Amino acid sequence: MLPNTFEKLVQRTRIRENASKMAYRVLVDGLPIKKVADEFNVSYQCVHRALSRIKRALPEGYKIISVVVPEKEAPLLEQRYRVKWD
């Protein structure tokens, strides 16, 4: 997920700062939930709840997905699928 997309989702929630940071590490930085839980010294479930808060902020009809593409093609996909909601 792109950082600007994450920030738009955070603005649609009342998520606490620490929970937001945990979700960012998973969704933007791409770290596994377990690693983030260890980093923040919290349970796996705590990180999972933070992710759920962000996912519930998605506008209707949107879904979070992950894709693996060649690095040179990533900017094209990012531009094509940049979030356009307010």
> Cα(8)–Cα(70) distance, rounded to whole angstroms?
26
CB 15 within 8 A of CB 50: yes
Neighbours of 66 (CB within 10 A): 7
DSSP state of 58: S
Q: Where are the domains of the chain?
A: 3-80
* Segment 15-68, tens digit of pLDDT: 999 999 999 999 999 999 999 999 999 999 999 999 999 999 999 988 888 888
The pLDDT of residue 52:
96
At 85, is the pLDDT very low, low, confident or very high (cuts 50, 70, 90)?
low
Q: Under CATH, what is the fold of the domain 3-80?
A: Arc Repressor Mutant, subunit A (1.10.10)
Tally Cβ neighbours within 10 Å of residue 31.
Answer: 17
